[in-house]
């Protein structure tokens, strides 16, 4: 067993819920998310190149999960709506003043390039540099997209609050 695989297995066991949520954030479907995780593990295990930095396993493996999810979406060319029960599991540790349904609606309306940055940064608690590494983007690009995504979320939630107060 290679040194990467000996580090990969404990990493996957320790972060399995986060890995699943990351995959789920793309496909909004339990079976597809599990397929993505399984495929990502297989791809990671069969990779022959060694990791340069043992601490980079998180961003390296998350990048594999994201790429695998995008490949599946391209192959199917469809996105499935998220169910309330599944969204609650996805957002279980986050607490906000808006109902989950409204957050779901708002997140679903974001373009993928913004939504994934929100998911990685706030739901997976990754640093900006880690998000950039996972997405193969410049740090400045990630910061710009994060700012734009937050602005879009704020605008959407403000308009929703105004609708409720009428």
- Does some domain include residue 6? yes
pLDDT given at position 52: 58
100 and 72 within one domain: no
pLDDT at 157: 73
Flag whether the pTM goes above 0.75.
no
15 and 61 in a common domain: yes
pLDDT one-digit tens code per residue, 16-29 = 999 998 898 888 88
Q: What is the CATH number of the domain that holds 72?
A: 1.10.1740
Q: Is residue 6 located within the same domain as residue 32?
A: yes
Point out the residues of the chain with pLDDT beneath 70.
1-5, 48-55, 77-104, 160-162, 164-166
Residue 96, pLDDT score: 45
pLDDT at 28: 84
Dist CA 75 CA 92 (whole Å):
30
Classify residue 139: in a domain, yes or no.
yes
Residues 3 and 46 in one domain: yes
**68 found inside a domain:** yes
Question: Where do the DSSP E strands lie in the chain?
Answer: none
Domain range enclosing 11 = 1-80
pLDDT score recorded for residue 54? 60
88 in a structural domain: no
Closest of 156, 96, 154 to residue 123, by C-alpha? 96
């Amino acid at each position: 067993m290679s040194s990467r695989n000996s580090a990969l297995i404990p990493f996957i066991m320790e972060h399995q819920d986060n890995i699943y949520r990351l995959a789920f954030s793309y496909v909004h479907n339990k079976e597809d998310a599990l397929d993505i995780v399984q495929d990502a593990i297989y791809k990671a295990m069969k990779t022959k190149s060694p990791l340069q930095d043992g601490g980079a396993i998180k961003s390296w493996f998350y990048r594999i999960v994201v790429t695998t999810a995008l490949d599946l979406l391209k192959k199917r060319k469809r996105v499935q709506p998220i169910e309330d029960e599944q969204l609650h599991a996805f957002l279980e540790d986050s607490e906000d003043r808006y109902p989950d349904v409204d957050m779901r609606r708002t997140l679903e309306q974001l373009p993928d390039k913004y939504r994934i940055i929100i998911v990685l940064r706030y739901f997976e608690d990754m640093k900006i540099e880690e998000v950039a590494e996972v997405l193969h983007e410049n740090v400045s690009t990630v910061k710009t997209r994060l700012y734009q995504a937050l602005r879009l979320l704020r605008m959407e939630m403000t308009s929703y609050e105004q609708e409720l107060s009428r």
